[in-house]
Amino acid sequence: MGNKNNLKSFIMNTLRNKVSLIGRIGKTPELQKVGTSKDYALTKFPLATNESYKDKNGQWHDNTQWHNLVAWGKTAERIASLITKGQEVMIEGRIVNNSYEKNGEKRFTTDIEVADFLMISSSTKSNSAELEEKTTVKSK
């Protein structure tokens, strides 16, 4: 009984705040260097996911959701060098909520912090040999 509960606890803790998305890149990611000595990599970019559904009248509708993605470090460097606008990718990461003030008003953002990615469609920025070697990237 104890082993079963430990396994369940392990699985639940592993899956906490985990997001997987498949979609198309909305803007080519640009690498930024941040930090006091501008030595840490960051990239932010949008991802569109699409769903189709049939309404009660039998008509099909498309629903597109836009997600704000953020990548840090080596993952950000790889994304900026391999991914372009329109490319289909699978992203794994976690949801991160932030807040900031603008003109005295508190605002909130929800981002997906990328931990891993897989390129589903090919990129025009890299040759195919490099893509085979580097399409899957894990951070930390």
- CATH code where residue 124 lies: 2.40.50.140
Closest-CA residue to 140 (of 90, 81, 92): 92
Tell me if 6 is assigned to some domain.
no
C-alpha atoms less than 13 angstroms from C-alpha of 123 in its C-beta half-sphere: 24
Residue range 17-49, pLDDT digits in tens: 999 999 999 999 999 999 887 879 999 999 999
The tally of domains found in the chain comes to 1
The per-residue pLDDT for 46 is 98
Tell me if 28 is assigned to some domain.
yes
Tell me if 94 is assigned to some domain.
yes
Tell me if 127 is assigned to some domain.
yes
Tell me if 14 is assigned to some domain.
no
Residue range 104-121, pLDDT digits in tens: 999 999 999 999 999 998
* Domain assignment of residue 129, given as a range: 19-138
Which H helix or E strand runs over 99? Answer: strand 88-102
Output the CA–CA distances (angstroms, integers) from residue 115 to 69, 85, 120, in the order listed. Answer: 10, 20, 16
Residue range 58-101, pLDDT digits in tens: 999 999 999 999 999 999 999 999 999 999 999 999 999 999 99
> For residues 47 and 64, what is the distance between their CA atoms, to the nearest angstrom?
10
Closest-CA residue to 122 (of 110, 131, 112, 134): 131
> For residues 125 and 123, what is the distance between their CA atoms, to the nearest angstrom?
5
Please work out, in degrees rounded to the nearest 5, the angle formed at the alpha carbon of residue 131 by the alpha carbons of 125 and 137: 105
Tell me if 86 is assigned to some domain.
yes
Strands 136-138 and 105-119: antiparallel
> For residues 65 and 23, what is the distance between their CA atoms, to the nearest angstrom?
9
Tell me if 5 is assigned to some domain.
no
Tell me if 10 is assigned to some domain.
no
